[in-house]
Amino acid sequence: MKFCIINLGCKVNKVESDSFAAALLAQGHQASELAEAELVIINTCTVTGEAEKKTRKTTRQALTRAPQARVIVTGCAAALHAETFSSMDKRVEVVEKSRLFELLQQQNNVWLANKGFRTRVGVKVQDGCNNACTYCIVHVARGRATSISANHIVRECKALAEAGVKEIVLTGINLGSYYDDTFDTTSPLTLAGLLHLLLDETKDIHNDDEPPVRFRVSSIEPKDVDEAFIDLLASSQGRICRHLHLPLQSGSSKVLKEMARPYDAAYFAALVEKLYARVPQLSLSTDIIVGFPGETDQEFEETCELARVCRFSKIHVFPYSKREGTPAAQRLDQIDPEVKAVRAAQLRDIAQQLRQEDFKRRLNGSEWVLIEEGGIGMTESYHEVALKREYVSGKLVYVSLADEIDE
Ligand code: SF4
């Protein structure tokens, strides 16, 4: 059978979609273009109103472009509005994600690694979120925070390392809430404990001429960055990539409060200062929403200022988009779309400048770079670079950035 998987939304969705593909390939099915597919799986997203609109449009397009295909719709938007999708066509089947895993995921990611499916492999360790940010519907769609058992994660990561994977990206909706009290009943594992365990269990799985697998934390909420986590980041010599995605969302304490984010601007700035002091090589990326209801020019300026202070290496800029069912969507002081567009463009300019500055600072040094396809590498600091020399893809190589980057 020919299948096509369409992934929308966050990194967790991407990891899940890769697992769907791995399971299907393992059973001898064949990945294909949409037009030839007999089975289409759409992993949907509902993070913003725009994302949900795109999800509906994508499903309609799949029905048209793959006229023979059975279309399975899963994920956050499908969980919230199953009827919207199932009423589109009798070929559409809405399947709850964990059920779809049961149906498809007979093999785990080990197979995926053996096939050289991707050089960087995501492993989902957590799902759901106990926060209630006022712009977000994901915590409703995904439900309360849950964690996958450390035993299971260790088994999966060891198998991936044995299969030659060199970077494992730990993913979750709210990774910092990781908690497992089944592994050691006297001392429950948090994210730092899990990482310790993973480093230890995989440290000897490598050839003599290369380092062991490294881990990347896909995203962590500011309040979850505790001392144990910082200690580990500072001492692991890059086995935990010294790159964190730390969502800021706004640099205005007033806006943060209205977003129900559990920190203010001063807390975030102090955390970043501490992180840079303890881990000087650290690269920080972030998410920022511009044009949240009621955001004034002055509050937007505070965001730009804090972004500069934090020297982010990458900023994902999101113009605020109303998400029905959230408190922020009810507000009457929505920001004019043109104002949002202007603010987004201004912040993207700042982001680009900061990214260039971050990379320039790194040019004097060396980093372990994961070689991907086509002469492209991913630095520990999460810069994608073109390399002058040819390396075998999938390897980790120590590269002098000034000498070996093709600018
Ligand atoms: S932390 Fe906030 S934005 Fe992130 S999933 Fe939880 S509620 Fe949503």
Sequence ranges of the domains in the chain: 2-103, 112-284+291-313, 366-404
* Cβ of 46 below 6 Å from ligand 1: no
Going by pLDDT thresholds of 50, 70 and 90, the confidence category of residue 239 is very high
Q: Token pair for residue 334?
A: 């929505």
- Cβ–ligand 1 distance for 256 under 6 Å, the answer no
With a cut of 60, say whether residue 87 has pLDDT above it. yes
Mean pLDDT of the chain: 90
CA separation for the pair 390, 377 (Å, rounded): 11
Q: Does the Cβ of 129 fall within 6 Å of ligand 1? A: yes
Alpha-carbon distance of 139 to 131, in angstroms, equals 7
User: Which range, of 65-69, 102-106, 197-201, 387-391, averages the lowest pLDDT?
Assistant: 102-106
> Which has the closest alpha carbon to 147: 169, 113, 120, 170?
170
Q: Are domains 2-103 and 112-284+291-313 of this chain identical in fold? A: no
- Residue 236: how many other CB atoms lie within 10 Å: 17
- Indicate if ligand 1 lies below 6 Å from the C-beta of 136: yes
| Span 67-75, average pLDDT | 88
CATH code matching the domain that covers 112-284+291-313, chosen among 3.80.30.20, 3.30.70.100, 3.40.50.2000, 3.30.1280.10: 3.80.30.20
- Span 330-344, average pLDDT: 97
In this structure, which residue's CA is closest to atom 1 in ligand 1? 131
**Rounded CA gap, 123 and 126, in Å?**
9
Residue with the smallest CA separation from ligand 1 atom 2 is 133
d(CA 187, CA 183): 8
CATH class of domain segment(s) 2-103: alpha beta
The CB of 139 under 6 Å from ligand 1? The reply is yes
State the DSSP code for 116: T
Q: What is the pLDDT of residues 346-396, one digit of tens each?
A: 999 999 999 999 999 999 899 999 998 778 899 999 999 998 888 888 889
pLDDT over threshold 50, residue 293: yes
Q: Provide the whole-model pTM.
A: 0.79
Burial class (CB in 10 A: 0-12, 13-18, 19+), 200: exposed
How many angstroms is it from 13 CA to the middle of ligand 1?
15
What is the 297 CA–ligand 1 centroid distance (Å)?
25
